[in-house]
């Protein structure tokens, strides 16, 4: 955009008024970003071009490379207000690096992160007022008791919500009287979860939140996330456990070797899963029926056949209907690693 002097410009909010320009220049400028009223050009520049009004978390072109060559590269995605977003990837893929930039702990080589429109590097203090954070490994004061640590966190935030704190302590069956140094890993993780949630933040950034929790407490955590989603909270949650992402999240981003491989709706991601079924039949003839069907067949044993299904279940139902006697049908849950390998294989093929 060209501006020839003499010119007077007046800014007001995200509006710009240009007076005294050559008419031809005014017309050129108007064609790019505004409109002319007499000899005055009125321009409107949004504070954040391209930003969705409903986005609570935004990551744009985030790049950070370590000396080892690893890092994150050109990461871009957004999380809407009230959305639970899963950040999936194996250990070392770049999940924690991304989250540390969201928290303002690291300076990116390129790109930026924003939470509620605030720059995560320059406006960290304002962001922290309404943010709950669970790091991959929480740094505790080992000689404190759990009760003292929660008191300390409340004093640091200058906020007390004792009823919510106690409700969370009871919910996670957290023993707060003992010193942290003597707590098990699972108990320390529950203490960190209570600290992240007890001030009732609007935004939650959680890095591997169920690490160290037993299955019962994992279910308790999932119930809490579903409740927070109903209350309109925004959650970004990293994990390498597909089952907890599947049960809690609206969308998921998949990161591979520091690069964002995809951002998918959870329903689409579930539909792409390749499930394994073990079918037990009544005769060897039924085994032959399954092996000669359109199904993808894996291991075959004595009257047992392993088959794989992706998305379309009609061939499975048709093959079962052809059998004289079906004695059992067991599903083998697909691990997240298998989902990754299937997805990454498809990405490599497309390249």
Q: Token pair for residue 137?
A: 């490994």
Q: Could you list the residue range(s) of the whole structural domain that residue 38 is in?
A: 8-44
pLDDT given at position 345 = 58
* Residue 339 in domain: no
Among 270, 291, 307, the domain-final residue is 270
Strand partners for 235: 84, 204
Quote the DSSP letter at residue 177: S
Torsion over CA: 88, 133, 103, 60 (sign): positive
* Residue 338 in domain: no
Query: Strand, coil or helix: what is 269?
Result: helix
Same domain, 266 and 117: yes
Quote the DSSP letter at residue 202: S
* Residue 189 in domain: yes
pLDDT given at position 344 = 58
Q: Are 127 and 104 in contact (CB under 8 A)?
A: yes
> Which pTM value belongs to this model?
0.71
DSSP H or E segment with residue 43? strand 40-44
pLDDT given at position 289 = 93
Same domain, 193 and 120: yes
CATH of residue 218's domain is: 3.40.50.300
Q: Are 120 and 114 in contact (CB under 8 A)?
A: yes
Torsion over CA: 141, 143, 146, 150 (sign): negative
How many domains would you assign to the chain?
A: 3
Would you write out the chain's pLDDT as a tens digit for each of its 351 residues? 444 444 444 444 444 445 444 444 444 444 444 444 444 444 444 444 344 568 999 999 999 999 999 999 999 999 999 999 999 888 889 999 999 999 999 999 999 999 999 999 999 999 999 999 999 999 899 999 999 999 999 999 888 889 999 999 999 999 999 999 999 999 999 999 999 999 999 999 999 999 999 999 999 999 999 999 999 999 999 987 777 888 899 999 989 899 998 898 887 766 666 788 999 999 999 999 999 999 989 889 889 999 988 767 889 999 999 999 999 999 876 655 566 666 655 554 444
* Residue 348 in domain: no
pLDDT given at position 10 = 47
Same domain, 115 and 172: yes
* Residue 346 in domain: no
CATH of residue 301's domain is: 3.30.70.1150
Q: Are 243 and 335 in contact (CB under 8 A)?
A: no
Same domain, 74 and 191: yes
pLDDT given at position 89 = 85
Q: Token pair for residue 228?
A: 């927070």
């Amino acid at each position: 955009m060209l501006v020839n002097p003499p010119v007077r410009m007046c800014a007001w909010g995200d509006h710009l008024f240009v007076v005294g320009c050559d008419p031809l220049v005014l017309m050129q400028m108007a064609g790019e970003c505004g409109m002319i009223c007499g000899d005055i050009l009125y321009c409107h520049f949004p504070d954040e071009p391209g930003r969705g009004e409903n986005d609570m978390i935004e990551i744009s072109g985030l790049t950070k490379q370590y000396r080892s060559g690893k890092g994150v590269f050109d990461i871009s995605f957004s999380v809407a207000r009230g959305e639970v977003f899963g950040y999936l990837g194996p250990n070392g893929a770049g999940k924690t690096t991304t989250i540390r930039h969201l928290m303002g702990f690291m300076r990116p080589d390129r790109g930026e992160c924003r939470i509620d429109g605030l720059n995560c590097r320059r406006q960290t203090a304002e962001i922290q007022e309404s943010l709950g954070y669970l790091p991959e490994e929480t740094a505790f004061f080992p000689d404190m008791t759990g009760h003292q640590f929660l008191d300390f966190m409340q004093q640091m935030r200058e906020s007390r919500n004792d009823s919510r704190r106690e409700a969370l302590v009871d919910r996670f069956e957290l023993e707060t009287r003992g010193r942290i140094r003597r707590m098990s890993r699972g108990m320390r993780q529950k203490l960190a979860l209570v600290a992240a949630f007890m001030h009732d933040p609007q935004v939650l950034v959680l890095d591997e939140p169920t690490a160290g929790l037993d299955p019962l407490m994992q279910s308790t955590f999932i119930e809490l996330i579903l409740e927070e989603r109903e209350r309109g909270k925004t959650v970004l949650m990293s994990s390498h456990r597909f089952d907890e992402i599947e049960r809690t999240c609206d969308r998921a981003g998949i990161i591979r070797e520091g690069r964002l491989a995809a951002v998918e709706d959870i329903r689409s991601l579930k539909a792409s899963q390749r499930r394994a079924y073990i079918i037990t039949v009544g005769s060897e003839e039924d085994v032959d029926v399954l092996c000669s069907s359109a199904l993808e067949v894996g291991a075959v044993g004595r009257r047992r056949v392993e088959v794989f299904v992706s998305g379309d279940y009609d061939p499975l139902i048709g093959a079962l209907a052809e059998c004289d006697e079906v004695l059992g049908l067991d599903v083998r849950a697909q691990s997240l690693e298998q989902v990754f390998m299937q997805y990454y294989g498809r990405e490599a093929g497309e390249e």
